[in-house]
Amino acid sequence: MANTNCISQLQNFTPKKPNRFLTNLYLLTFITFLCTLFYHLGLWRHYPSTTTISAAADSTLCLPNTNNSAATATATIPSFTKLDFAAHHLLPDPPRTAARGPHLPPCEPYFSEYTPCEDQKRSLKFPRGRLVYRERHCPAPEEILRCRIPAPHGYRLPPRWPSSRDWAWYANVPHKELTVEKKNQNWVRFEGNRFRFPGGGTMFPRGANAYIDDIGKLINLRDGSIRTAIDTGCGVASFGAYLLSRDILTVSFAPRDTHEGQVQFALERGVPALIGILASIRLPYPSRAFDMAHCSRCLIPWGQHDGIYLNEVDRVLRPGGYWILSGPPVNYQKHWRGWERTRDSLKDEQDTIEDVAKSLCWKKLVQKDDLAIWQKPTNHIHCQIKRKIFKSRPFCQAQDPDMAWYTKLDTCLTPLPEANDIKEVSGGKLSKWPERLTAIPPRIRSESLEGITAEVFKENTELWKKRVAYYKTLDHQLQERGRYRNMLDMNSYLGGFAAALVGDPVWVMNIVPVEAEINTLGVIYERGLIGTYHNWCEAMSTYPRTYDFIHGDSVFSLYQNRCDIVEILLEMDRILRPQGGVILRDDVDVLMKVKSIADEMQWDARITDHEEGPYQRQKIFVAVKHYWTAPPP
């Protein structure tokens, strides 16, 4: 009983709730003990390895336990002299050459006028017949230069247009051959440190202006019906230079031959020109491109080889277009002695040309003094009837008349689009200049180009007006009227870039790549603009330092899986003048690659936002080529 009372009393003294303070204290003590324990275990585990102070002590580490306390002490002394605090998570820097991209040094000075596909040494390997050796013959991949073409020592920027029409710096085209060979014909004169271009020619001793006035008395050159022209065997392109004041845009061409620098002089003057020749392949232009074709003693054998060369002129002439011939054999009765030919041979030559022209269904409009002019029919209704009767030159069958890149010449007649009436113009009538620039081109009106409608054309025209206005805020040289003269558009589509600049004192060579999905070069000519086909995996048929400004829209995206981007940029560098400008628009990833190569070529380059803002994936690349020349000889 007493025990029961004691227990009950003890229970009364026992707290009803547990003492939380003591419990937390015990727990904290236990945790502290564990932390201390593991800390010392960690120290023991990661304690620095011991090193020896002497070679003698080294041996004791390999021996069983001994009583040599001195050696043991020596063996267990820690050393911190070999601790490595260097970071080991960084990748090594890439080699300097890999970081900078391809090495593109300057070429040797003797390459200053190098034109890869018209190289005279390479051309001698090809047949002389029909002058095939003077056509395009591009280097093999292993022959392509991987260096930058220098300007000749003393090179200077050309004078601005229209002064450039009349003179050029000698240092830019250091060739005096024409000043001697054509001295009596007033092509070009050498005066001090510059060349003068009096405007003369073999068949226009009174000057190109007076010669063109004579043509204007025979056909109308002022009403805008003639806008595009082609001059075969152009000399220094005085004919094309003086047609510009009449709003007629001329593509002049001549081969790179013994008349050194013909096309180079033309380009230095600010006149459109290309290296080219009528030999065995088509001219790089679409059918129905030119309103007028011209030959002033161009030495092309028009009547030979079944009239194959006149046949090609017919292909590129629009319906109703004109062919103008001066020089042998025209007016041979007066000039045969001066031409050192017999009257009979010249008469035979003229008769042959007349026969070829008839086989093409051309009509001879007039022959007056030294000029003869033929006109192509506006359609082939009568011509088809004649073919059934006389069985002369047949029409080409199943052939694309606009295909003209390494396409062989043929003697068959290129048929015009079908016409329903004798007065109808095949393919559609063209508006007169300047309305032609913005009028819907016949090739688009006829819906012959898949996916390109009149609405697409109008939208594209307005789009490029906005884009060119934005470009002028990015390149102050483009904004400066007259700073640029010769311009190149590497991927022209409908020619909107050139059309937006038509009010500036410039001309634009519009390129339609042969790899383009749709062949639109015919539309460009129907707008009254000029251009050519080209494959940018090859060099262009022009001299170095041809263009003051180069533009390209998505051209590198088009070629990124076709050829080396470095070679395209080197070609751009070759044909761009020192201090010339470049604007490219393309995908940002593509332009980053372009810029890395442009930096190596010593262009002053940057990438900026699209005109519609920074959220567009397409960006704009703006660059200026540095001024540099070959060292003094």
Which is nearest to 231 in space by CA: 244, 219, 214, 220? 244
Query: Which range, of 191-205, 319-333, 383-397, averages the lowest pLDDT?
Result: 383-397
The pLDDT of residue 21 is 63
Q: What is the pLDDT of residue 100?
A: 57
The mean pLDDT of 537-551, rounded to a whole number, is 98
Contact 429, 442 (CB under 8 A): yes
Instruction: Report the C-alpha gap between 105 and 591 in whole angstroms.
Output: 22
- Higher local confidence (pLDDT), 4 or 446: 446
Contact 526, 441 (CB under 8 A): yes
pTM of the predicted model as reported, rounded to 2 decimal places: 0.84
Token couple for 70 = 């001195």
Contact 600, 147 (CB under 8 A): no
What local confidence, expressed as pLDDT, does residue 12 receive? Answer: 47
Q: Which of 303-312, 383-392, 467-476 has the lowest mean pLDDT?
A: 383-392
Which tops the pLDDT comparison, 291 or 201?
Answer: 291
Give the least confident one: 288-297, 385-394, 590-599.
385-394
Angle 281-286-290 from CA coordinates, rounded to 5°: 105
Percentage of residues in the chain with pLDDT exceeding 90? 76
pLDDT band at 578 (very low <50, low <70, confident <90, very high): very high
Please compute the mean of the pLDDT values over residues 410-414 and round it to a whole number.
95
CA distance 190 to 64: 103
For residue 204, the cross-strand partners are 201
DSSP designation for 518? S
Q: Identify the CA nearest to 526 among candidates 284, 317, 288.
A: 288
pLDDT at 484 over 90: yes
Return d(Cα 237, Cα 127) in angstroms, integer.
Answer: 28
pLDDT per residue as tens digits for the range 25-84 = 777 787 888 788 777 777 666 555 444 333 333 433 333 343 444 334 344 444 445 555
pLDDT of residue 235: 87
Task: Among 15-24, 34-43, 96-105, name the one with the lowest average pLDDT.
Answer: 15-24
For residue 613 the two structure tokens come to 């803002």
The alpha carbon of 606 is separated from its chain's Cα centroid by a whole number of angstroms, namely: 19
pLDDT for 245 equals 95
Name 201's bridge partners: 204
Q: What is the mean pLDDT of residues 176-188?
A: 79
pLDDT in tens, 512-541: 999 999 999 999 999 999 999 999 999 999
pLDDT of amino acid 25: 74
Let me know: does 376 contact 360? Beta carbons within 8 Å. yes
Mean model confidence pLDDT for the chain: 88
pLDDT at 85: 52
- Residue 163: phi and psi, rounded to 5, are -60, -35
The mean pLDDT of 390-414, rounded to a whole number, is: 92
Who has greater pLDDT, 187 or 108? 108
Residue 127 CB neighbour total at 10 angstroms: 10
- What confidence tier does 388 reach under pLDDT thresholds 50, 70, 90? confident
Q: 178 and 201 in contact (C-beta within 8 Å)?
A: no
Region 319-325: mean pLDDT is 98
